[in-house]
Chains A and B, each alone.
Chain A
Amino acid sequence: MNIILRHFLRLLLIFLFQFLLLKQIDLSFQNFNYIHILVYPLFILLLPLNLSKYLYLVLAFIVGLIVDIFYHSPGVHAAALVLMAFVQPIILKVIEPREGYSKDSSPTMHKMGLSWLFIYTSLSLFIHHFVYFSIEAFSFIYFFEIILRTIFSFIVSLIVIMLSHFIFRPKI
């Protein structure tokens, strides 16, 4: 299957999951309203590692804007996702394995192993969530609330993303 088509279909699937299912789930009870599951960063996290840095940013911006359209929050998701895409190369450099990345590396369990994938996903996702909830509050007066939302949502989102890795077992 063509690699572009594969990623496009993957994106569609992630969007369907995000908008049709996760967006409708209300995980708040009483005062506890800290869990918002966001899995769409998975698309960026699954892009091939040798992809141009510029393309990372452009794709993140477009995907972010589409998510914003569905969440009625123009710019918020896009800003967080673009920032995540920007720090992606830095994270990759930090957690680079001793033998380096091979030419056709893609960030999957199959290619890179579970522990590398876990660190890679959790670092990126945490940054994304923290930025997203900061911009959503837009003021560090709500710092405590931002931290709580970041941590709870991050944990749940991470679980969902890792589960999807186990279920679909993407190879490329």
Chain B
Amino acid sequence: MRNLLLFLAKYGHFLLFLFFEIICFFLIVNFNSSQKDIWSHSLSLYTGNVKERISNANNYLKLQEVNDSLHLENSVLLQEIINYKVYNKDNQYQNFEQADSLPYRLIPSRICDKTLHLRNNYFTLCKGQNHGIKKGMGVISKNGIVGIIKSVSDNYSDVILILNTQSRISVSIKNKNYFGNLVWRNNTFNKLNLEAIPKYAEISIGDTIVTSGYSTSFPPDIQVGKISAFEASPGGGDYIIDVELFNNIETISHSFVIDLQSNQEIDTLYSSDIKDQQL
């Protein structure tokens, strides 16, 4: 109490001054039109600035959520495009408009983990059996193919990357109808080899490589990469072709798993074929 009195005795004059000035300030700001305008204008400038900062911070915190929702949106659009292409190729656009269920369904997924610089590279996706992922489905990103599902658990799944010595994907050269296999032999990042293109084929550097659609993993006409170099193999009947990927696999963080709805029939056909061969 004594301290309070001492404080008042020392600063009371200043406090009274502040008190009067604050009253004056309220009067000025509330009852003088021009001062009121200036005050509210500058107030809104500063609060606007603060509000913007707050919303920026909030947006940053929501980034993951926004990313995921955009990814989901992309998957819907990509699904439309893929299915449209399939129908369009067979001149069945009308059917595409009227179809109840489309053959290809995309399952968007984040990539949980990846290895990139080994001989056999894998991705781990953050979705699994519970989300409808099955073994053998193809995985693509927005710029091209990524790999094939190798094994699935309840909530995670492993992907064999195309940058894996075991990977083998059926592709074709766009608009030219030559088919070959895309493999990874030379172990250089983002460079693959295209095999089994016969020497009589007319190819040139820069030709686009797309998926053939002859497997149940990938729909036709998904871009893969372009031819960066080729030479005739000595003594063989094929070209040795280097393919540069469109996809920068190092930087992708989201991918789509392709689910072909009607693939059960084809799968049983394939497996019965294999059985026949084995017999």
Contact = CB atoms under 8 A, between A and B. Distances in A.
A135 B35 CA distance: 8
Contacts of A8: none
Contacts of B66: none
Given A54-B16, A74-B31, A86-B17, A138 B38 contact: yes
Chain B interface SS verdict (over half): helix
Interface string B7-36: 000001110110011011111111110110
A31 interface: no
Of B25, B31, B32, B42, most buried by chain A (CB within 10 Å of CB) is B32
Given A74-B27, A75-B27, A138-B38, A61 B32 contact: no
A57 B17 contact: yes
Give the size category of B's interface with A. 20 to 34
A88 to B, nearest CB: 11
Chain A interface SS verdict (over half): helix
Contacts of B30: 74
Given A75-B23, A138-B34, A138-B39, A82 B17 contact: yes
Nearest to B32: A73
Give the size category of A's interface with B. 20 to 34
Interface in A30-70: 53-54, 57-58, 60-61, 64, 68
Interface of A: 53-54, 57-58, 60-61, 64, 68, 73-76, 78-79, 82-83, 85-86, 89, 135, 138-139
26 contacts: A53-B13, A54-B12, A54-B13, A57-B17, A61-B20, A64-B24, A74-B27, A74-B28, A75-B25, A75-B26, A75-B27, A75-B28, A75-B31, A75-B32, A76-B24, A76-B32, A78-B20, A79-B20, A79-B21, A79-B25, A86-B14, A138-B28, A138-B34, A138-B35, A138-B38, A138-B39
Interface of B: 12-14, 16-17, 20-21, 23-32, 34-35, 38-39, 42
